[in-house]
Amino acid sequence: MSVNRCYDLEYLPVVNNMPSIQKLHLTRCPQVMHLSNAGYHTAMKELAIESCDRLSSLKELRGLVSLTKLKVTCCSDLVLLPDMDSYYSLGLLIIQHCPLLRSLPKGGLPVSLKVFVLTGCHQALEEQFQQKEGADWNKVAALPGCMTCTDESSEHWGNGDSGMNFKNATNWRI
């Protein structure tokens, strides 16, 4: 399901009658402030949120226990990610151009995470990854077998069927 270019939309439309939604792409909805209905879709596998400028928190997404891919890009007011301790299937997490995001979830990231991309976020957060030290860096470093990319070559990830493009990534930690 795609919700695109809804410039006056302030919250996610009621989709509770569609519990089998597996993919949701919310793109260019600059007035969206919260996603309260999205957290009820326990069957959802992929969620992409792009250019939702007023969205400040994703804490409503705690119930997405089947999520395998989460991509959040160009959300200029985002300051809080959801707790991810119940995201047992999350393998891909991309966070790009969320300049107010200062930290990762307090409880850390799921051990199922295989690829983590972080670019264009708050300088304090990015510095931890550049220096490979700090509380948030340690959350990622503790994940066995997780590849981490923190450079702009990952800019176009998620464009295509696989959701990943590794050929241009240069700053990796495995």
Domain locations along the chain:
1-174
Task: State the pLDDT at residue 38.
Answer: 59
pLDDT at residue number 54: 94
Q: Which residues of the chain have pLDDT under 50?
A: 154, 156-174
pLDDT score at 163: 46
pLDDT of residue 164: 45
Query: For the domain bounded by 1-174, which CATH number is listed?
Result: 3.80.10.10
Instruction: Report pLDDT for 171.
Output: 45
Query: Which pLDDT score is estimated for 69?
Result: 97
pLDDT digits (tens, 9 = 90+) for 72-112: 999 999 999 988 988 999 999 999 999 999 999 999 999 99
> In terms of C-beta distances under 8 Å and separation of at least 24 residues, what long-range contacts does 105-112 make, across chains too?
105/81, 105/139, 107/83, 108/84, 108/139, 108/142, 109/84, 109/139, 109/140, 109/143, 109/146, 110/84, 110/85, 111/143, 111/144, 112/87, 112/88
